[in-house]
């Protein structure tokens, strides 16, 4: 968790470090904007976020290790296709991250 330090009431807010990293935040934002069980092609995410394949793979591995995304590979003929989707756990973590971020920014005082 990334600590935001003290809050006006003496409290402290912890942000999910896995999501808080800027590139992973962008990836999760893209994925949770979809309906549950919808997915995006690896190539689309790579181009949309202007990432190298290695960079995207590294960030996806961290999200996958946290069980926030599911990555599936399919073949269409001889061509492989990689799909990425947010898991239910990832959607909950992202929603919680947003609540904590709003608290840290003073935009929310209760759950």
Residue ranges of domains in the chain, CATH in brackets: 23-104 (1.10.10.10)
Predicted confidence at residue 6, as pLDDT, reads: 53
Residue 5's pLDDT is what? 56
Q: pLDDT tens, position by position, for the chain (111 residues)? A: 555 555 555 567 789 999 999 999 999 999 999 998 899 999 999 999 999 999 999 999 999 999 999 999 999 899 999 999 999 999 999 999 999 999 888 876 665
pLDDT of residue 106: 82
Return the pLDDT at 105.
85
Predicted confidence at residue 14, as pLDDT, reads 84
Q: Quick count: other Cβ atoms within 10 Å of Cβ 43? A: 12
Global pTM? Answer: 0.85
The crossing angle, in degrees rounded to 10, of helices 22-32 and 53-65 is: 70
Q: Can you tell me the distance from the alpha carbon of 105 to that of 19, in angstroms, rounded to the nearest whole number?
A: 17
- The residues that bridge with 75 in the sheet, in sequence order, are 80
Helix (H) or strand (E) holding 30: helix 22-32
């Amino acid at each position: 968790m990334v600590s935001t330090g003290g809050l006006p009431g003496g409290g402290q807010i912890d942000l999910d470090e896995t999501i808080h990293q800027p590139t992973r935040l962008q990836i999760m934002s893209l994925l949770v904007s979809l309906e549950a069980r919808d997915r995006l092609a690896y190539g689309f995410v790579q181009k949309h976020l202007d990432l190298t394949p290695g960079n995207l793979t590294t960030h996806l591995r961290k999200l996958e290790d946290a069980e926030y995304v599911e990555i599936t590979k399919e073949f269409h003929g001889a061509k492989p296709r990689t799909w990425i989707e947010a898991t239910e756990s990832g959607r909950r973590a992202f929603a919680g991250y947003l609540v904590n971020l709003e608290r840290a920014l003073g935009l929310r005082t209760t759950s």
